[in-house]
Structure 1
Amino acid sequence: MKKFILILILFSSIHLFAQSAGNTGLSFLKFGFGARNSAMGDVGNVVSNDLTALHYNPSRLSFTENNEVMFTHNSWIQDISSEMFGIKTYIFDLPVAVGFNITNISDLEVRQIPGEPVSKFDANYFYGSLSTAYKVDEDFSLGLTLKYLYEGLLNDESTGFGIDLGASYFLPFEGLALSAVVRNLGSMNELRNEATKLPSEFRIGSSYNFKLQDYKLDFIAAAEYQKYFDANDHLNFGFEISYDRLIAIRGGYQTNYESRNFTAGIGLLWGNLKFDYSYIPFSLGIGSGNLFSLGFKF
C-alpha cells in the first residue's frame, strides 16, 4: 500500500507542475508503438509486456528477461506513415532499450491565394530514445526514457529533448498490476518564430491477468486514465484472449475522441517470433489506421 501511495503522490505532483503547458504539436509522439497495444485501446502503459514499454512506460522493461528486437509500421490517416524500431538488452543487470520513430506526412500543399497550390512539401519527424528501468524489488519498478526530437517543415527545422518517468507495481492480489507514467516532458528549439510544445501527458491504470490452464486460455483486461496536460482526458479500455501462446484476439475502446473509439486486432506467435496487427476505424470519412508489428525474442 505504501508503494501505491508513493506512485500517486509522485505523479500527481508532476501533473500539477506541468499544467501550465500551452497548445502542443508533435502529434506523432502520440502514436502507439506495437500493434498489440494499439489493438487493446492503446493501454500499453499497463499491458506492455515486451520492449514496447520503452514507448509507454519504461519501468515495465524490468519485468521481462529476454533480449528483444521489434519493428512496427503504422499506416495512419491523411497520408501519415510511421516506421518504428526498437531493441532491448541487459547491461550490468539493467534493461536498456533503444527506440527510433520516423514519421512522414506527404504532399502538404502551399497556397498563397485560393486555387491551385503553389507547391507541395513533406513534413518529417524523428525521435531517438534511450530507456532503462530499475527493479526496486520483485514487485516494484521505476523507469526512465530520454528522447532526442526533430521536426522539419518546408525549409524550417527544430530539435529538442523529452523525458518519460514511469513506475509499475504488482499488487499483492495475483495477476493485478498498477502502472503510472508521465510522458513527453521537455522542450523544442524555435521553429522559425515559435517553439513547438510537446504533447505532455499523464497516465495511470491497472491490468488483471488470469489463466484457465485446462483450456490453455490466457485473459488480460486493462483500464487506464489518460490526461494530456493541454487537452481532453480519456479513458482507455482493452482486453486480450490468447490460446496456447499461438493466437490472440484483442479489442479496445477509447473515450472522448471526436472520430474514433473502438480498436481491434490479432496476434500470431511461433516460438520466439510474433506478428501483431491492429485496426483503428475512424468516422467522418477520414479513413482508418493500420499497424503491423514483427518482434523477436532471443
Structure 2
Amino acid sequence: MKKYFILVVIYSVTQLYPQSAGNTGLSFLKFGFGARNTAMGDVGNSASNDLTALHYNPARLSITQNNEVIFTHNAWIQDVSSEMFGIKTFLFDLPFALGFNVTNISDIEVRQIPGEPISKFDANYFYGSLSTAYKFDDMFSAGATVKYLYEGLLNDESTGFGIDLGLFYQSPIKGLSLSAAVRNLGSMNELRNEATKLPSELRAGPAYNLNLDDYKIELVLAGEYQKYFDADDHLNFGIEILYDKLIAVRGGYQTNYEGRDMAAGFGLMWGNLKFDYSYIPFSLGIGSANLFSLGFKF
C-alpha cells in the first residue's frame, strides 16, 4: 500500500500544478486570486488594487478605504477546481480581511497495473486566512497574514499554519509604487510519514499607473520578480487598459514556466460591482485555465 500511496501523491501533485519545481507541496497556494491579477501575468504583489491583496501582499490592503467582498471561481487544468472568497472591513481604523480557499482534485485513479483503476478518490485542500495592514504615512505601509492550512489525501490528513509579510511604498514619482512580500512561511504536520513543505516565495516589483484624462483611459503597467525558495525564479509582467471606469482589457506574460507563459482577460464595472475574467492557455496538451471573479465595494 505504501507504494500505491507514493504513486498517487506524485500524481496528484503533478496534476495540481504541472510546472512547479522543487520539493514543496500544497501547490494550490500558488494559484492566483482574482481574475484581474491572473490576466495580468499574476502580478498581484505589484498591482492588486482591491481585496485580492490579501493573497499577494497584505500591505496593499491599506490602499483602498472601502469595505469589500469578492468571490473567484478557478477552473484549473485537469479537473482541478478552486473556489476563493474574501471579505474586508475596518476595525480601529485598520483594514482586516478574511480569506478562504477550497481546492479539489476529483477522480484521482489508483492503479496497481495498467488497465482499469482499482479505485478513485478526491484530494482536498483548504486555507483560511486573516490579514491586516498598518499605514505609517501616505507613502509606506506594512501588512501580515496568518493562514490555517489543511490537506486531505486518500485516508490521510494534515494541518498547519503559514505567514505572509508584505511592504508597500508609494514613491514620490506620481503613479509609481513598489511592493514586496514573503509568502507561505510556516510548516505542516506530518501527512502519514512526512510533513508537506510549504511553497515559500519572495515577490518584489514596481507598478506604474498613468491617467490619460483626455481619453478617459487609465493605464497600469506592472512587473515583479518571483522566487520560490526551493525552485526556479520567474519574471511576471502585466498591463491593464481601463476605459471610462467601465471596461478593462488585460494581458500578461510569465517567464520560466514549462507549460505556460501568456495570459489575457477583461473586466466590466457597474458602479461598485465588478466582474473579471482571465484565460490562461497551457501547452503540452493539458488544457487551459479559466478564472471568474465577482467583487463588490461598499
Across the aligned residues of Structure 1 and Structure 2, the Cα RMSD in angstroms comes to: 0.6
Give the deviation of 1:99 after TM superposition: 0.3
For residue 176 of structure 1, what is the aligned residue in structure 2?
A: 176
Give the deviation of 1:112 after TM superposition: 2.0
For residue 205 of structure 1, what is the aligned residue in structure 2?
A: 205
1:137 aligns with 2:137: yes
Give the deviation of 1:110 after TM superposition: 1.0
For residue 122 of structure 1, what is the aligned residue in structure 2?
A: 122
After the TM superposition, which residues 253-272 of structure 1 pair with which residues of structure 2 at under 5 Å, given as runs? Answer: 253-272=253-272
Separation of aligned partners in 2, 1:261 and 1:268: 24
TM-score (norm 2): 0.92
Aligned partner of residue 211 in structure 2, secondary structure: strand
Separation of aligned partners in 2, 1:259 and 1:96: 36
Give the deviation of 1:241 after TM superposition: 0.2
1:281 aligns with 2:281: yes
Aligned partner of residue 106 in structure 2, secondary structure: strand
After the TM superposition, which residues 4-23 of structure 1 pair with which residues of structure 2 at under 5 Å, given as runs? Answer: 23=23
Give the deviation of 1:116 after TM superposition: 1.6
For residue 196 of structure 1, what is the aligned residue in structure 2?
A: 196
Separation of aligned partners in 2, 1:90 and 1:139: 20
Deviation per CA, 1:24-70, whole angstroms, max 9, x where unpaired?
00000000110000000000001110010000000000110000000
Separation of aligned partners in 2, 1:210 and 1:77: 35
For residue 162 of structure 1, what is the aligned residue in structure 2?
A: 162
Separation of aligned partners in 2, 1:185 and 1:73: 25
Separation of aligned partners in 2, 1:139 and 1:279: 34
TM-score (norm 1): 0.92
For residue 248 of structure 2, what is the aligned residue in structure 1?
A: 248
Aligned partner of residue 116 in structure 1, secondary structure: coil
After the TM superposition, which residues 8-47 of structure 1 pair with which residues of structure 2 at under 5 Å, given as runs? Answer: 23-47=23-47
For residue 215 of structure 1, what is the aligned residue in structure 2?
A: 215
Give the deviation of 1:96 after TM superposition: 0.1
Structure 1 unmatched ranges of 5 or more? 1-21
Separation of aligned partners in 1, 2:208 and 2:186: 32
Letter in 2 for 1:29: L
For residue 97 of structure 2, what is the aligned residue in structure 1?
A: 97
1:51 aligns with 2:23: no
For residue 74 of structure 1, what is the aligned residue in structure 2?
A: 74
Separation of aligned partners in 1, 2:118 and 2:217: 58
Separation of aligned partners in 2, 1:124 and 1:183: 21
Give the deviation of 1:268 after TM superposition: 0.1
Aligned partner of residue 45 in structure 1, secondary structure: helix
Letter in 2 for 1:273: L
Give the deviation of 1:115 after TM superposition: 2.2
For residue 83 of structure 1, what is the aligned residue in structure 2?
A: 83
Q: Provide the aligned length of Structure 1 versus Structure 2.
A: 277
Runs of 4+ in 1 over 4 A off after TM superposition: none
Identical counterparts, % of pairs = 80
1:148 aligns with 2:148: yes
Deviation per CA, 1:128-171, whole angstroms, max 9, x where unpaired?
00000000111100000000000000100000000000000011
1:232 aligns with 2:232: yes
Aligned partner of residue 66 in structure 1, secondary structure: coil
Deviation per CA, 1:153-191, whole angstroms, max 9, x where unpaired?
010000000000000001110000000000000000000
Letter in 1 for 2:141: S
Give the deviation of 1:203 after TM superposition: 0.4
Aligned partner of residue 28 in structure 1, secondary structure: helix
Give the deviation of 1:111 after TM superposition: 1.4
Separation of aligned partners in 1, 2:34 and 2:286: 22
